[in-house]
Protein backbone atom coordinates (compact mmCIF):
# COMPACT_ATOMS: atom_id res chain seq x y z
CA UNK A 1 0.00 0.00 0.00
CA UNK A 2 1.41 3.40 -0.87
CA UNK A 3 2.29 5.75 1.96
CA UNK A 4 -0.26 8.28 0.72
CA UNK A 5 -3.09 5.79 1.15
CA UNK A 6 -2.14 4.62 4.64
CA UNK A 7 -3.78 7.52 6.53
CA UNK A 8 -7.03 6.93 4.64
CA UNK A 9 -6.83 3.21 5.33
CA UNK A 10 -6.31 3.92 9.02
CA UNK A 11 -9.28 6.27 9.12
CA UNK A 12 -11.40 3.69 7.31
CA UNK A 13 -10.39 1.03 9.83
CA UNK A 14 -11.31 3.29 12.74
CA UNK A 15 -14.61 4.18 11.09
CA UNK A 16 -15.41 0.51 10.58
CA UNK A 17 -14.48 -0.24 14.16
CA UNK A 18 -16.76 2.58 15.29
CA UNK A 19 -19.66 0.87 13.55
CA UNK A 20 -19.24 -2.01 15.96
CA UNK A 21 -19.81 0.40 18.84
CA UNK A 22 -22.93 1.98 17.35
CA UNK A 23 -26.43 0.69 17.94
CA UNK A 24 -27.94 -1.44 15.21
CA UNK A 25 -31.07 -0.21 13.49
CA UNK A 26 -33.30 -2.43 15.57
CA UNK A 27 -31.73 -1.05 18.76
CA UNK A 28 -32.49 2.57 17.95
CA UNK A 29 -36.23 2.28 18.23
CA UNK A 30 -36.70 3.70 14.74
CA UNK A 31 -37.82 0.59 12.88
CA UNK A 32 -41.27 1.94 12.12
CA UNK A 33 -40.30 5.50 11.31
CA UNK A 34 -39.77 6.85 7.83
CA UNK A 35 -36.65 8.66 6.73
CA UNK A 36 -38.51 11.96 6.50
CA UNK A 37 -39.93 11.61 10.02
CA UNK A 38 -36.45 10.77 11.35
CA UNK A 39 -34.97 13.72 9.51
CA UNK A 40 -37.64 16.07 10.84
CA UNK A 41 -36.90 14.96 14.39
CA UNK A 42 -33.16 15.33 13.77
CA UNK A 43 -33.64 18.84 12.40
CA UNK A 44 -35.66 19.82 15.49
CA UNK A 45 -32.91 18.43 17.71
CA UNK A 46 -30.23 20.32 15.77
CA UNK A 47 -32.20 23.55 15.99
CA UNK A 48 -32.71 23.03 19.72
CA UNK A 49 -28.95 22.55 20.18
CA UNK A 50 -28.28 25.78 18.27
CA UNK A 51 -30.99 27.60 20.25
CA UNK A 52 -29.21 26.51 23.44
CA UNK A 53 -25.84 27.94 22.49
CA UNK A 54 -24.17 25.37 20.21
CA UNK A 55 -24.26 27.71 17.20
CA UNK A 56 -22.39 25.44 14.75
CA UNK A 57 -24.39 22.28 15.49
CA UNK A 58 -25.01 20.52 12.14
CA UNK A 59 -28.27 19.28 10.68
CA UNK A 60 -28.67 15.52 10.12
CA UNK A 61 -28.17 13.92 6.72
CA UNK A 62 -31.12 13.23 4.41
CA UNK A 63 -32.00 10.02 6.28
CA UNK A 64 -32.06 11.83 9.61
CA UNK A 65 -28.93 10.07 10.84
CA UNK A 66 -26.78 12.05 13.24
CA UNK A 67 -24.39 10.71 15.86
CA UNK A 68 -22.20 12.33 18.47
CA UNK A 69 -19.18 10.82 16.67
CA UNK A 70 -20.11 12.69 13.48
CA UNK A 71 -20.57 15.92 15.40
CA UNK A 72 -17.33 15.51 17.38
CA UNK A 73 -15.20 14.58 14.41
CA UNK A 74 -17.00 16.13 11.47
CA UNK A 75 -17.64 19.67 12.67
CA UNK A 76 -16.21 22.53 14.71
CA UNK A 77 -18.46 21.71 17.67
CA UNK A 78 -16.67 21.15 20.99
CA UNK A 79 -18.58 18.18 22.42
CA UNK A 80 -16.72 18.44 25.73
CA UNK A 81 -17.77 22.02 26.48
CA UNK A 82 -20.20 22.94 29.29
CA UNK A 83 -22.40 24.67 26.68
CA UNK A 84 -22.70 21.42 24.72
CA UNK A 85 -23.56 19.48 27.88
CA UNK A 86 -26.24 22.00 28.90
CA UNK A 87 -27.75 22.03 25.40
CA UNK A 88 -27.72 18.24 25.25
CA UNK A 89 -29.62 18.11 28.54
CA UNK A 90 -32.15 20.68 27.36
CA UNK A 91 -32.69 18.88 24.04
CA UNK A 92 -32.54 15.29 25.28
CA UNK A 93 -36.21 14.60 24.43
CA UNK A 94 -35.56 15.55 20.80
CA UNK A 95 -32.40 13.44 20.33
CA UNK A 96 -32.49 11.24 17.26
CA UNK A 97 -32.38 7.53 18.01
CA UNK A 98 -28.80 6.39 18.47
CA UNK A 99 -27.34 9.89 18.77
CA UNK A 100 -25.17 9.14 21.78
CA UNK A 101 -24.79 5.50 20.83
CA UNK A 102 -24.39 3.12 23.70
CA UNK A 103 -21.71 2.37 26.20
CA UNK A 104 -18.94 0.05 25.10
CA UNK A 105 -18.86 -3.40 26.61
CA UNK A 106 -16.12 -4.04 29.17
CA UNK A 107 -14.02 -5.81 26.49
CA UNK A 108 -14.53 -2.95 24.01
CA UNK A 109 -13.59 -0.35 26.62
CA UNK A 110 -10.49 -2.32 27.61
CA UNK A 111 -9.46 -2.44 23.94
CA UNK A 112 -10.24 1.27 23.61
CA UNK A 113 -7.97 2.11 26.53
CA UNK A 114 -5.18 -0.04 25.05
CA UNK A 115 -5.70 1.71 21.71
CA UNK A 116 -5.40 5.12 23.43
CA UNK A 117 -2.17 4.06 25.14
CA UNK A 118 -0.80 2.79 21.82
CA UNK A 119 -1.62 6.13 20.17
CA UNK A 120 0.23 7.96 22.97
CA UNK A 121 3.18 5.56 22.62
CA UNK A 122 3.29 6.44 18.91
CA UNK A 123 3.74 10.17 19.47
CA UNK A 124 0.33 11.67 20.25
CA UNK A 125 1.07 12.37 23.92
CA UNK A 126 -2.19 14.28 24.51
CA UNK A 127 -4.50 11.53 23.18
CA UNK A 128 -7.18 11.08 25.88
CA UNK A 129 -8.64 7.86 27.21
CA UNK A 130 -12.05 7.51 25.55
CA UNK A 131 -15.14 7.59 27.72
CA UNK A 132 -17.14 4.33 27.67
CA UNK A 133 -20.04 6.03 25.87
CA UNK A 134 -18.03 8.55 23.84
CA UNK A 135 -16.26 8.43 20.51
CA UNK A 136 -13.06 6.44 20.20
CA UNK A 137 -11.30 9.40 18.59
CA UNK A 138 -12.40 12.97 19.26
CA UNK A 139 -10.01 15.39 17.57
CA UNK A 140 -11.54 18.24 19.59
CA UNK A 141 -9.93 16.66 22.67
CA UNK A 142 -6.48 16.30 21.02
CA UNK A 143 -4.85 19.75 20.98
CA UNK A 144 -1.79 18.52 19.07
CA UNK A 145 -4.02 17.42 16.16
CA UNK A 146 -4.68 21.11 15.45
CA UNK A 147 -0.98 21.98 15.26
CA UNK A 148 1.20 21.75 12.18
CA UNK A 149 1.93 18.10 11.44
CA UNK A 150 -0.46 16.98 14.17
CA UNK A 151 -2.87 15.14 11.90
CA UNK A 152 0.00 13.38 10.15
CA UNK A 153 1.29 12.14 13.50
CA UNK A 154 -2.22 11.06 14.52
CA UNK A 155 -2.79 9.26 11.21
CA UNK A 156 0.52 7.42 11.53
CA UNK A 157 -0.33 6.38 15.09
CA UNK A 158 -3.79 5.20 14.01
CA UNK A 159 -2.23 3.15 11.22
CA UNK A 160 0.04 1.48 13.76
CA UNK A 161 -2.58 1.04 16.47
CA UNK A 162 -5.67 0.14 14.46
CA UNK A 163 -4.46 -3.45 14.19
CA UNK A 164 -3.91 -3.55 17.95
CA UNK A 165 -7.48 -2.39 18.57
CA UNK A 166 -8.96 -4.82 16.06
CA UNK A 167 -6.86 -7.67 17.46
CA UNK A 168 -8.05 -6.97 21.01
CA UNK A 169 -11.64 -7.32 19.80
CA UNK A 170 -10.91 -10.44 17.76
CA UNK A 171 -11.43 -8.61 14.46
CA UNK A 172 -9.29 -8.94 11.39
CA UNK A 173 -8.07 -5.49 10.30
Q: What is the pLDDT of residue 98?
A: 65
Instruction: Give me the mean pLDDT over the 73-93 stretch.
Output: 84
| pLDDT band, residue 167 (cuts 50/70/90) | low
Q: What is the pLDDT of residues 94-153, one digit of tens each?
A: 887 667 665 677 888 888 899 999 999 999 999 999 887 777 787 778 999 888 998 899
Is the model's pLDDT at 26 over the cut of 70?
Answer: no
The backbone region for 170, taken as left when phi is positive above 0, alpha when psi lies in -120 to 50, beta otherwise, is left
Compute the mean pLDDT over every residue in the chain, rounded to the nearest whole number.
74
Is the model's pLDDT at 10 over the cut of 80?
Answer: no
pTM: 0.47
* Rounded Cα gap, residues 12 and 15, in angstroms: 5
> Between the CA atoms of 114, 117, 118 and 120, what dihedral angle is there, to the nearest 10 degrees?
160
| pLDDT band, residue 169 (cuts 50/70/90) | low
Q: Which residues of 86-101 are buried (b: 16+ CB within 10 A; e: fewer)?
A: ebbeebeebbbbbbeb
| Number of Cβ within a 10 Å radius of residue 109 | 17
Backbone angles phi, psi at 92, to 5 degrees: -55, -40
Range of weakest confidence among 23-32, 54-63, 117-126? 23-32
Q: What is the pLDDT of residue 34?
A: 53
Amino acid sequence: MSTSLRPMAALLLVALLGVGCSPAADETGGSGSTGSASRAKGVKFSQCMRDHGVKKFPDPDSSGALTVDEVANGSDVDTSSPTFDRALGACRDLQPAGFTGRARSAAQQKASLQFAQCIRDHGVKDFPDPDPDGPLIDTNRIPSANQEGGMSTLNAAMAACGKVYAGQLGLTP
